Amino acid sequence: MTMKNDTLTIAVLPGDGIGREVMPACLELVNAATTMAGAPALAFETHNAGAQYYAESGDALPASTLEACRKSDAILFGAMGWPDIRFPDGTEIIPQLDLRMELGLFAGVRPIRWFPGLPRVLTDPRAEQIDFVLVREQTEGLFYARGRGEIRNDEEAYDTMQITRSGTERVTEFAFDIARQRKRRGKPGNVTCVDKANVFQSMAFFRKVFDEVADRHSDLTKDHAYVDALALNMVKKPWTFDVLVTENMFGDILSDLAAGLIGGMGMAPSADIGDKHGLFQPAHGTAPDIAGKGCANPSAMFLSAAMMLDWLAAKFGQPTLADAARLMEGAVEHTLSTKLAIPMEYGGNANCAEMTRSVISSLSAAR
Amino acid sequence: MTMKNDTLTIAVLPGDGIGREVMPACLELVNAATTMAGAPALAFETHNAGAQYYAESGDALPASTLEACRKSDAILFGAMGWPDIRFPDGTEIIPQLDLRMELGLFAGVRPIRWFPGLPRVLTDPRAEQIDFVLVREQTEGLFYARGRGEIRNDEEAYDTMQITRSGTERVTEFAFDIARQRKRRGKPGNVTCVDKANVFQSMAFFRKVFDEVADRHSDLTKDHAYVDALALNMVKKPWTFDVLVTENMFGDILSDLAAGLIGGMGMAPSADIGDKHGLFQPAHGTAPDIAGKGCANPSAMFLSAAMMLDWLAAKFGQPTLADAARLMEGAVEHTLSTKLAIPMEYGGNANCAEMTRSVISSLSAAR
Ligand SMILES: CC(C)[C@H](C(=O)O)[C@@H](O)C(=O)O
Ligand SMILES: CC(C)[C@H](C(=O)O)[C@@H](O)C(=O)O
């Protein structure tokens, strides 16, 4: 896509709980960073969705919100869901899953990087070198079963997982793309297929299609791992990982685990990418236990917005947006490494507002 | 079951790779421990199975071996599988899965305990208090799909997971039983249901049946966790876990991850328990990279045999077998904590024979 003349429009969905706290903080930071980088300003348009909005309106993901997401240039998403607010049949309100399916956001990109200043979780000092990307397939796999599951006579229940050639090809191509970009920055340029091909047909198929795609990328390397062994190695030697690609459910589990290695959900950004659309959200949820207290760590939201700027920069040929992304990442890193502000979840006393102020004031240091 | 007059017979399946190395070491230790505890000697009968036997005979799990397992009082299992030896259709040789199904070994019991002397993986000193049990359902869940999966036109593949009321009830009852035994030793007496009930019907059903069973155990407590959040908490605060019960595939992933927290597969024992049978095996595999060198750490095999002695003691009313189990566990602990021998995988130079000698010589210290 070439550069557009008009302003880029961002659909902003703060959602529920701490999503509503970290989102305004994030918009403030993005504005400051784009200004400093001389990047075009973004037009933020806030839309309703989520459990709390459902409680008010009876609609968890209004058609107007979905439509606005479709028309936007990118979607910035806080967090959605709330323990006590459910659909009449008792199921949880999770519009993020609907958005993935509706907008074809097939690649869940979860960069896992340790930042200086963060508490180290693993004793091995090489844990400070953790820097890998987990790519989670997000439109099929076991999640294909959502809404299709079956309970028979209160005796048996079934859910079917689906792996398609096209779904596997596109997510694998995506993973090799990321590996190539990383290789330019000196990373190994390797993609690991994480599966359970020793037991399941669908997983053997996933591996087979992965291998076919890998053959087209002779400039990069590949390997395979069984998901159980990979989970073990994720605590034993995550610093050896480069790019991982895996099925939806496995990716869900592994990405939370991976976030645990770098200080938890408060530091883990994510992007849900499709052919046309990109949605960017922190990996954390709505955190009902701390919501409303203003003490959430907005770092994951900030880093997710930086991923959005990078994606927009590439998509619309606007390198200054990537500059703004570097400023934001650098400012988070500076804040943490200099201990200018320490998030409450790491034993510090910086609440959301203080973290935001510190990160914004660190933008110049990141220049 | 009451005590039998005749000797207890153990079907011994060393299997492949390091299974063939740690097994003889283990039998030596069990003999020494039962003698010291004044427990009845066990009759060990070794049987063929596994990939290497398949290469010789064309049979991975001979009917005679299966029959011997059925007739035995317990099964002691090394490890099976070998990278280059596969069935003609390319699938791996994993008789352990067949044994689980054939013998109805529905509960995969994976105790996770940190031993003094082991390298600590997590920086938080509370990691030394890690002591929980993961109970993995082993006869259904996603593994129901094994042998039933479908690939259509090289375009789509499907695997279906099954959760049954009876399967969930029995494994949940089993988990509450373990929690009750642990409570007697001062543990919390809590069972956590690990599922993905927010997305899947089968998992919502699992949770529902779990809750019904939990209601029958008012002396114990229960809670729930989504599998992704649980994976995160497993690195954040595993010392808060007591007993976890979960679906087959989730349990496979989580038990490997859990082993990673206490020094890896070399320390992780396991038991596969059914209504009639019990199979005991280290969580590690055949380790082709080190097999044949005599350097495997036999500790997980030793601890698995101790689980077998405990199970036999309860089943046949033979408390001296439990005494022997305590001696064996104590001897492993003594060996590690005094650094009498340090396994090669932890940077020491004790090979399998030296570890075995040290553990046997530590039996008296454990008395
Ligand atoms: C909210 C939940 C359904 C969701 C998922 O399972 O995908 C979340 O865990 C995630 O990783 O985005
Ligand atoms: C060998 C393999 C098929 C097996 C499993 O997945 O169950 C193993 O990982 C285990 O945990 O016992």
pLDDT given for residue A5 in this prediction: 55
Q: Is the pLDDT of residue B2 over 50?
A: no
Give residue-wise pLDDT tens across range B195-249: 999 999 999 999 999 999 999 999 999 999 999 999 999 999 999 999 999 999 9
Residue-level pLDDT at B296:
96
pLDDT for the residue B353 = 98
With CB atoms and an 8 Å threshold, state whether A122 touches B122: yes
Q: Closest Cα to residue A110, out of A211, A261, A232?
A: A261
DSSP sequence for B230-275 = HHHHHHH-GGG--EEEE-HHHHHHHHHHHHHHTT-GGG-EEEEE-S
Among candidate residues A158, A243, A92, A180, the one with its CA nearest the CA of residue B201 = A158
Collapsing DSSP to helix, strand or coil, B120 comes out as coil
Which range is least confidently modeled, B23-32, B84-93, B151-160, B167-176?
A: B84-93
As for ligand 2, residues whose beta carbon falls within 6 Å of it are A 198-199, 228; B 94, 96-97, 252
At residue B261, does pLDDT exceed 60? yes
Q: Across-strand partners of B350? A: B343
Q: How far is CA B73 from CA B2, B197, B280, B315, in A?
A: 13, 38, 12, 10
- Helix (H) / strand (E) containing B108: strand B107-113
pLDDT beyond 50 at B63: yes
Multiple choice CATH, A120-262, 3.40.718.10, 3.10.150.10, 3.40.50.1360, 3.40.980.20: 3.40.718.10
Cβ atoms of A140 and A180 closer than 8 Å: no
Q: Domain spanning B1-106+265-367 has what CATH number?
A: 3.40.718.10
B106 or B345: which leads in pLDDT: B106
Task: Judge contact between B142 and B249, C-beta under 8 A.
Answer: yes
Nearest CA to ligand 1 atom 1: A94
d(CA A163, CA B157): 5
Residue-wise pLDDT tens digits, B272-311: 999 999 999 999 999 999 999 999 999 999 999 999 999 9
Q: What is the band of B151 on the pLDDT scale with cuts at 50, 70, 90?
A: very high
Closest CB from A161, A196, A264 relative to B158: A161
Residues 90-109 of chain A with CB under 8 A from chain B are 91-92, 94, 97
Q: Which residue does chain B place closest to A157, by CA atoms?
A: B202
- Amino acid in position A282: P
- A114 at B interface, C-beta within 8 A: no
Q: Do residues B60 and B51 lie in contact, with contact meaning Cβ atoms separated by under 8 Å?
A: yes
Record: contact B201-A145, CB cut-off 8 A: yes
Q: What is the pLDDT of residue A1?
A: 46
How far apart are alpha carbons B365 and B362 in whole angstroms?
Answer: 5
Q: Rounded to two decimals, what is the model's pTM? A: 0.97
Ligand 2 center from residue B252 Cα (angstroms): 6
Angle at B336 between CA B18 and CA B244, to 5 degrees: 75
Chain A residues whose CB is inside 8 A of the B241 CB are none
CA distances from A323 to A38, A132, A227, A307 (A): 9, 22, 36, 12
Residue-level pLDDT at B1: 46
Write out residues in chain A with pLDDT < 70, as ranges: 1-5
At which residue do the structure tokens 């859910």 appear? A159
- In sequence order, which residues have a C-beta less than 8 Å from that of residue A366 and are 6 or more positions away? A326, A327, A328, A329, A330, A331, A333, A334
Q: Give A196's contacts in chain B (Cβ within 8 Å).
A: 249, 252
Q: What is the pLDDT of residue A33?
A: 98
So what's the pLDDT on residue A90?
A: 80
In A95-130, which ranges are E strands?
Answer: 107-113
CATH of domain A1-105+271-367: 3.40.718.10
Q: What's the rounded Cα separation, in Å, for the pair B267 and B343?
A: 10
Alpha carbon separation from B188 to A154, B159, B227, B326 (Å, rounded): 31, 37, 21, 22
- Delimit the domains of chain A by residue range: 1-105+271-367, 120-262
Contact residues, A window 127-186, toward B, CB-based 8 Å cutoff:
142-143, 145-146, 149-151, 154-166
Task: Please name the member of B142, B201, B254 whose beta carbon is closest to the beta carbon of A151.
Answer: B201
Nearest CA in chain A to B195: A253
Identify the H or E element spanning A304. Answer: helix A299-316
User: Same fold for the domain at B1-106+265-367 and the one at B120-262?
Assistant: yes
Q: Is the Cβ of A120 closer than 8 Å to some Cβ of chain B?
A: yes
> Which of B92 and B227 is assigned the larger pLDDT?
B227
